[in-house]
Amino acid sequence: MKILMVLTSHEKLGKTGLKTGFWLEEFASPYYVFKDRNIEVTLASPKGGNPPLDPKSDAPDFQTAATERFRNDKESQKKLANTHRLDALDPSDFDAVFYPGGHGPLWDLAEDKNSISLLETFYRQGKPMGLVCHAPGVLRHTNREDGDPLVKGKKVTGFSNTEEEAVQLTEVVPFLLEDMLKSNQGLYTKGVDWESHVEVDGNLLTGQNPASSEAVAHEMINQLRKKQG
C-alpha cells in the first residue's frame, strides 16, 4: 500500500509577522501509524523541499510520543526536508491521501489547483482521504462531478470556531473552517474542544483537531484493509 501525505508550504500567519506551517503532531502521529504497518509513505508539498513547521507545535506543551520519536528519527527528518513537489506526482500511484493540519493549508493548499484536482480524483475513485484539524480547509473549492461541493451532504468535522477563538486567530485566518464547511453544505459536527472527534462518510475521513489525527489514520488503515479484502 502507498499513502501520500500532503503538507503546506505556507509560513506567514496572515499579517501578524508570525510564522505558521504544518502542525508537528498531526504529521508525526499518522506518519508512524502508517510506517509501523510497513505502508510506503510519500511526502509532498506545493513547493517541494522542506515544509515550514508551525513553531508553536514544537513547544513543550504539544509534544507526544510520536513527536519525540520523530525528533530522534534522522531518516524521517531527512525525508520531510525533501518533500516532492505536488505537481510532479501522479494520483494513480497512491492508494490514499492524508493532509495534516496547521494553519498553513488555509492559505496555500485551499487554493492550490493541483491539490484540488488530486482530491477530486481521489474522491471519484473512492480512495480514502484523511484530513485533520485545519486540513479540511483544502476542500474549500473541491467539487463533485455534478458541480456540487464535494462536502455537500457529507458528515464532516474540522477545527471549530470555538477552538479558533481560543487560539485568538479568528480575525487572522483567511476563512473560518467550520463556517466554510457549512456554507459548502457539509453536515458539520464537532465534539468537545481539543478532544478527539472523527467523522467518516464514505471515503472522506475528517478529524476535528490535533487530538484526532491518530484516530483518522487508523480509520484510513481500516478502509484500506477492507479494500484489499
The helix (run of H) or strand (run of E) holding residue 113 is helix 113-125
What is the pairing mode between strands 129-132 and 96-99?
A: parallel
Residue 160 has pLDDT above 90, yes or no: yes
Q: Is the pLDDT of residue 2 over 80?
A: yes
pLDDT in tens, 79-114: 999 999 999 999 999 999 999 999 999 999 999 999
Q: How confident is the model at residue 122 (pLDDT cuts 50, 70, 90)?
A: very high
Class of domain 2-228: alpha beta
Cell numbers that stand for 194 in this block: 481539543
What does each C-alpha distance from 5 to 37, 128, 205, 210 come to in angstroms? 15, 12, 14, 16
Average pLDDT over residues 19-26: 98
- The reported pLDDT for the residue numbered 65 is 95
DSSP state of 81: T
Q: What pLDDT does residue 227 have?
A: 83
Inform me whether the pLDDT recorded for 229 exceeds 80: no
Query: What are the structural domain ranges in the chain?
Result: 2-228
Contacts for 73 with CB less than 8 Å, ≥ 6 apart = none
For residues 76 and 31, give the distance between their C-alpha atoms in angstroms, rounded to a whole number.
Answer: 9
| Rounded Cα distance, 139 and 194, in Å | 22
pLDDT of 50 reads 98
Cell of 76: 524521517
Distance of alpha carbon 7 from alpha carbon 17, whole angstroms: 21
Say if residue 75's pLDDT is above 90.
yes
pLDDT for res 201: 98
Give the rounded distance of the alpha carbon of 55 from its chain centre: 17
pTM of the model: 0.97
Per mean pLDDT, which range of 55-64, 92-101, 201-210 is the poorest?
A: 55-64
Mean pLDDT of the chain, nearest integer: 97
Q: What is the pLDDT of residues 126-151, one digit of tens each?
A: 999 999 999 999 999 999 999 999 99
